[in-house]
Chain A
Amino acid sequence: QVQLVQSGAEVKRPGASVKVSCKASGYTFTSYAMQWVRQAPGQRLEWIGWINTGTGNTKYSQKFQGRVTISRDISASTAYMHLSSLRSEDTAVYYCARSRAHGDFFFDYWGQGTLVTVSS
């Protein structure tokens, strides 16, 4: 069965960076893209970016451009989301989700979420 398992909760100081991992299993890793989405407490879902796991090409939301890097390790079937220059407003649950790399994007499997808390 398809599973996306994310790394554990993180607490970071303002100005630091965080790297969240997402290990995929139960399917061919490079046949699907990996999306990253976050949700601040009580707020809406917010798209961060995605990676074509086959080619390594990435696309980022303009809001996070320059602060986020999404990467993957094909041998480990794992995608990563690195966010730098953290501020309190980055406190959120971060999710990875699988999608197709072409046509309509629908996120059919999601990780369990990783809580990132930014606090001094």
Chain B
Amino acid sequence: SSELTQDPAVSVALGQTVRITCQGDSLRNYYASWYQQKPGQAPVLVIYGKNNRPSGIPDRFSGSSSGNTASLTITGAQAEDETDYYCNSRDSSGNVVFGGGTKLTVL
């Protein structure tokens, strides 16, 4: 079955730029989508497709993809961005897979 690999933890200084990555074979054929999840809350979609943000998501969030790697970039990280981030994608059979999640710390 397909897998998506994320770094378990990433840190960034307040106001700086951070990239969170997601690797997997399915990303060669399908875009990843990215979710922000705060403690005790349902996940929130922040990036989907090539680089699309749902309404209400700040423009400091952006996405990119190359080969088997997708990236979520936060340009000018804020204190409220400190939380967990997950990527997901699908395979050609319609199975869905989530990455293991990345805990972002804003220093």
Contacts and interface: CB of A to CB of B under 8 A. Distances in A.
Interface of A: 35, 37, 44-47, 50, 59, 61-62, 95, 97, 104-108, 110-113
A52 to B, nearest CB: 9
Nearest to B30: A104
Nearest to B100: A44
Given A104-B49, A106-B48, A107-B33, A45 B101 contact: yes
Contacts, number: 62
A107 B90 CA distance: 11
Given A44-B101, A62-B1, A105 B96 contact: yes
B96 A106 contact: no
Contacts of A106: 33, 45, 48-49
B43 interface: yes
B58 interface: no
B88 A105 contact: yes
B88 A47 contact: yes
Nearest to A43: B101
B49 A111 contact: no
Given A106-B48, A108-B48, A35 B42 contact: no
B98 A45 contact: yes
A13 B103 CA distance: 33
